[in-house]
Amino acid sequence: MKSLKSGVFVKHGELRKRVLQRWFDKVGLKCSAFRALSNPLPGLFVEMPEFIQDMIDVILSNEKHLFIRGDLGSGKTTHMLLFKREFGELEDNLGHGFVTGYVAKTGLHRRQIAREIAGALGVKYCISWNSNRVLNAVEELIRRNYPRYRTVLFFEDVAENTAEALGEVKYLGDLEEDERLCTLIISGTPGYWSALEAVIPLLTSRCEVVDGPPFSLRHSREFVCNRLSYFSKNPKADDRDIYPFTEEAIRVLHEVSEGNPRKLRGYCRRCESVAAERYRLERNEIVDEEITRMVTSV
């Protein structure tokens, strides 16, 4: 029996790596500019200031919680992280500052989410405490911070958590004195919103729903540009340079991805592979309209 290292699939994989690496060297990239990242990098964010400002206005009025709705890969997490960043020096209409906490884990039960909330806000607790005791410590901090600070809690894909865990989230969102003490900013798909409405209608009735906007052509170009610049071996002289992509290629990728960042990234990565193969055969490294049409037609 042949060893695994001499197998046809392994040999093919090694050949593909070499082909890609030659293309990366030619265009000046350290590695694929469009690989998936476990944690979003600030240098890659594509900002939408108008949308962020609209969300800030909702929170400053302190009338409702906020639900950011969008399809998978539409940029909800990016909007949440950019939104959280804005609270550093922000004050509401009554002069309150803000304390923020961010819960990115999902699929949590009651005790887990209580601990995640406590950790996000820097609340100390004993490992033996049950969820009620942990949540009481969180509530104590929220009330102690007020009126100097209001608390804002961010939850990614909140409806993936258990119904009991959602009850803990609602409990904090209901804390009041003269006004709401803790504002919830939560995200999810349209399906998650429907599920949340069915499980905790009293929470959704107090939420302002905003749909995350898709990328415009300008945003798609910026997305590609940021990726290429971040993974470049050397700083680019022009920070708007999209080499080896052409403007026509970006236009096609934007149209087919429908302004969805995750779809756009996936198409771009496939373009890298096709461009690397063409470079091997023709010594042409450019990702042009022909390549993007080929990739997006599959």
Domain that holds residue 227: 25-42+216-296
- Are 203 and 244 in a shared domain? no
Rounded to whole angstroms, what are the CA distances from 183 to 100, 151, 216, 257? Answer: 10, 6, 30, 34
Structural domains of the chain, count? 2
pLDDT of residue 28: 95
Q: How far is CA 12 from CA 5, 9, 16, 23, 31, in A?
A: 11, 5, 6, 17, 19
- Say yes or no: 153 and 63 in one domain: yes
Question: Is 173 found in the same domain as 112?
Answer: yes
pLDDT at 2 over 90: no
Condensed to tens digits (0 to 9), the pLDDT of residues 212-248 reads: 999 999 999 999 999 999 999 987 767 689 999 999 9
- 197 exposed, middle or buried (CB, 10 Å; 0-12, 13-18, 19+)? middle
167: closest CA among 135, 194, 189? 135
% pLDDT > 90, the chain: 73
Average pLDDT of the residues in 262-290: 96
Choose between 240 and 252: higher pLDDT: 252
Average pLDDT, integer, range 66-87: 92
148-162, 229-243, 281-295: least confidently modelled range:
229-243
Classify 287 in phi/psi space as left (phi over 0), alpha (psi -120 to 50) or beta.
beta
165 and 227: one domain? Answer: no
Least confident span in 26-35, 55-64, 187-196: 55-64
75 and 186 both lie in a single domain: yes
Residue 14 lies in a domain: no
- Please check whether residue 269 lies inside any domain of the structure: yes
Residue 12 forms part of a structural domain: no
Q: How many CB atoms lie within 10 A of CB 292?
A: 27
Rg of the chain over Cα atoms, rounded to whole angstroms, equals 23
The percent of residues in the chain predicted with pLDDT above 70, rounded, is: 95
Contact 164, 109 (CB under 8 A): yes
CB 198 within 8 A of CB 187: no
Other CB atoms within 10 A of residue 53 CB: 10
- pLDDT at position 237 is 64
- The arithmetic mean of pLDDT across residues 23-50, rounded, is 91
As a whole number, the mean pLDDT across the chain is 90
Is the pLDDT confidence value at 44 over 50?
Answer: yes
CB-based contacts of 1, cutoff 8 Å, min separation 6: none
